[in-house]
Structure 1
């Protein structure tokens, strides 16, 4: 713990200490008075640091879920001097993002992107700028093939390059991050019309830069900037940057988790491969529509995304003064709809903290949709690339499990594999390696 010391014999030191204590007390009392009868309950903030002492910064989402056990599904938290509202559980998140979608549609300033994009783009913009940009982007991406059958063929073509790379290791260990390359190339193909060779220096640099930005996310808010015209060069570039990062990070990281979890749970991997062999055989490549005839495989893909809770939350803010569940949120109030708490909601899932594909299966082994399956969020701010991400995840997962068997490196047991996530903007698996051998 860091302590500040002042020489009490020094009048300046005494005066400074007194001023700090007075300011801290004034802030503390002001916050208490402001929350009375308006804001949701929450832990009492300390001067300067707020409630930061209650948070494990490696798993902020789990810390917030623990706080909600005392204060309920809607509570107030202080990140230093920044006061925010947290929504936990399926019902509260759905009520805000669906039933009150317009009121909770804005974004607060996000640290690194205020520097890079100045509040523009799709992901972190608000108001009319966001509405216009999102509508234009959705139309453009559809025209480029997102959600169409031709995109499935492009994904399978990219798999052939990924399979060749895996084969080149001849059963020796390789890093999980290798699986980032294929989904990233699919996004680049959609945006730029062509793929990169995996060894291309530009491709390698882009992967590194995306990785660095994801690590930097979460820094303190730096500044606010003025918006420019909706279709300025700056806004178009910011939108492309959003699509690059969101389109590569989410599916690429999910694919890493998929391989890691199949390696850790070989009995699940074997059951998936048994179903694939029965339905697809060893030669027919899958189609996205095969979800309907691969219920167990489809359940495993969904359970991977539920269990990892890849994106714990993306903050929203109120676009107008908002009344919600008897509380009052002034316009611009930062709000955290905690998606982890939805994907691990005890009222929605039988064994929320366990990897259990039966969450998506009925007693007869048929696939069952679940309303609380919200890895892409819900409402007005639902992921713009959801349809592409679902297609990529299913096709890459099926082709990988159809073609390869995954197992730990020599000397490592399945139980030794670490499934504790890294602390970045998305929950990435710890850096580690796996092995693969062709199944036929």
Structure 2
């Protein structure tokens, strides 16, 4: 038995060496890919990374391997861009060249399960160009003629104020009212109408959205993302992700059918109407991208993207103001001076409110909502600096490395509106401000998000003073970090009428 045992051990060692050699070659790309830690077969660098705080692990790796390096998330090879120079060079300076061969990353494995219709976010090539162009044009068109997007936000801000008044200065969690308000704005644009805050279908829809967000950010949700086939067979709360997604699809399909029954081809009321009209116009085009699947995908993309980010930013922003009441007081002063108390804030006010503008920019910088940015991928072997990035490799531009660059933002871990003010107190732009990413793949909803955050925040502060339940020095504004996003810790506050 001894010889057989020795032979078995020898074979195991040989197989192991071959597997490690294969993994090493996969990462090194025969010297063409950027350097990085040796990956294990199948699981990649998963065991070497803190998946609960991936941005911190990426920061530590950048110190060792430089601004461009390679890791493997599961079996997916990823080139990481760290620092303003690398991110800017890839997304902006070489944008025209690289965007010809960039596509949004092969979606995380879980996304085709949750969002089986391609829509805009995970489309590429001609489909992406057509759907994105159509969505941007449609959103711009809603700024003319009928009720504009700004008017929709102002209207929702008034409903939000009335809801906050009903708290009667008692403590409450701002998550639900802020989420409902922001969601109603995108609903009015996509579905044509806002929902009453007590509407049961609306409440159920938002509840499903919040639950899926929490499940996706959970540890099991992330394991599902990297190992979907395996996790399909493992019981746990992550299984609800698929069930909830089916509910989303049913809700959207119901709204689409309602639109089809009352459609006026000469007068689109919202995004769904505009898409249905475009489908009718291209009915004879067998290659058209304007079909029911892409309508469902685009609608769900707009809803999910338009609900989560702005509400999280506002929720974290209010928490920051609770910690720094002196900053809140200065914003109150500027609101009273420029807007007063008798009319609603409008976007034209922003240029006259440099301090408030700086506070909002600093909120977005400090919150760092998507520290890892949105992944891209290359569709063919691509030269970047001295490396050759092979086809289908994902590219992650680490936005945190730009937003927290100490050369541009001294003591970046501290909240300081002065980062966006010059010596005369005027608002100061920064090339390092990239919360929405950069280049041709910049967030499509950037304009809408900027309007929502400014109008909702100034309307809240025009009407209320924020009151913390603890001493300002004890307010913890450190975000809760998971795989790819930041969120504020749960908290309560009171709002006192001004």
Do the structures match in fold with TM over 0.5? yes
The residue aligned with 2:319 is: 260
Correspondence for 1:415 among 461, 469, 473: 473
- Secondary structure in structure 2 of the residue aligned to 1:78: strand
Kindly state the Cα deviation for residue 18 of structure 1 after the two structures are TM-superposed. 8.1
TM-score by length of 1: 0.89
Residues 146 and 96 of structure 1, relative CA distance in 2, 3 Å threshold: farther
Contact kept, 8 Å, 1:25 with 1:47, in 2: the verdict is: no
Kindly state the Cα deviation for residue 430 of structure 1 after the two structures are TM-superposed. 1.6
Distance in structure 2 (CA, Å) of the matches to 1:71 and 1:148: 54
Query: Is 1:38 the counterpart of 2:32 in the alignment?
Result: yes
Higher relative helix content: 2
Count of residues in Structure 1 that have an aligned counterpart in Structure 2? 423
After alignment, is 319-328 or 110-119 more displaced? 110-119
Spell out, residue by residue over 1:184-221, the C-alpha distance to the aligned partner (whole angstroms, 9 max, x if none). 11000010110011111111122122223333264126
Query: Is 1:220 the counterpart of 2:226 in the alignment?
Result: yes
Query: Is 1:74 the counterpart of 2:106 in the alignment?
Result: no
After alignment, is 292-301 or 25-34 more displaced? 25-34
Correspondence for 2:447 among 387, 390, 393: 387
Spell out, residue by residue over 1:216-249, the C-alpha distance to the aligned partner (whole angstroms, 9 max, x if none). 26412648xxxx9622211110111110000111
Kindly state the Cα deviation for residue 119 of structure 1 after the two structures are TM-superposed. 6.1
Residues 405 and 53 of structure 1, relative CA distance in 2, 3 Å threshold: same
The residue aligned with 1:4 is: none
Distance in structure 2 (CA, Å) of the matches to 1:146 and 1:51: 51
Correspondence for 1:98 among 92, 100, 107: 92
The residue aligned with 1:323 is: 383
Query: Is 1:365 the counterpart of 2:425 in the alignment?
Result: yes
Query: Is 1:196 the counterpart of 2:195 in the alignment?
Result: yes
Distance in structure 1 (CA, Å) of the matches to 2:446 and 2:144: 10
The residue aligned with 1:172 is: 170
Superposed, which structure 2 residues align to 1:242-391 within 5 Å?
242-312=301-371, 313-391=373-451
- Secondary structure in structure 1 of the residue aligned to 2:409: coil
Spell out, residue by residue over 1:237-290, the C-alpha distance to the aligned partner (whole angstroms, 9 max, x if none). 011111000011111111101111111111111111122122222223211011
After alignment, is 181-190 or 71-80 more displaced? 71-80
TM-score by length of 2: 0.79
Superposed, which structure 2 residues align to 1:224-239 within 5 Å?
230-239=289-298
Kindly state the Cα deviation for residue 48 of structure 1 after the two structures are TM-superposed. 4.6
Unaligned runs of 5+ in 2: 230-286
Contact kept, 8 Å, 2:76 with 2:393, in 1: the verdict is: no
Contact kept, 8 Å, 2:467 with 2:494, in 1: the verdict is: yes
After alignment, is 323-332 or 51-60 more displaced? 51-60
Contact kept, 8 Å, 1:109 with 1:221, in 2: the verdict is: no
Contact kept, 8 Å, 1:107 with 1:125, in 2: the verdict is: no
Spell out, residue by residue over 1:346-368, the C-alpha distance to the aligned partner (whole angstroms, 9 max, x if none). 23222211111000000110001
Contact kept, 8 Å, 1:120 with 1:234, in 2: the verdict is: yes
Contact kept, 8 Å, 2:54 with 2:484, in 1: the verdict is: no
Distance in structure 1 (CA, Å) of the matches to 2:12 and 2:328: 59
Kindly state the Cα deviation for residue 31 of structure 1 after the two structures are TM-superposed. 2.9
Contact kept, 8 Å, 2:117 with 2:293, in 1: the verdict is: no
Q: C-alpha root-mean-square deviation of aligned residues, in Å? A: 2.6
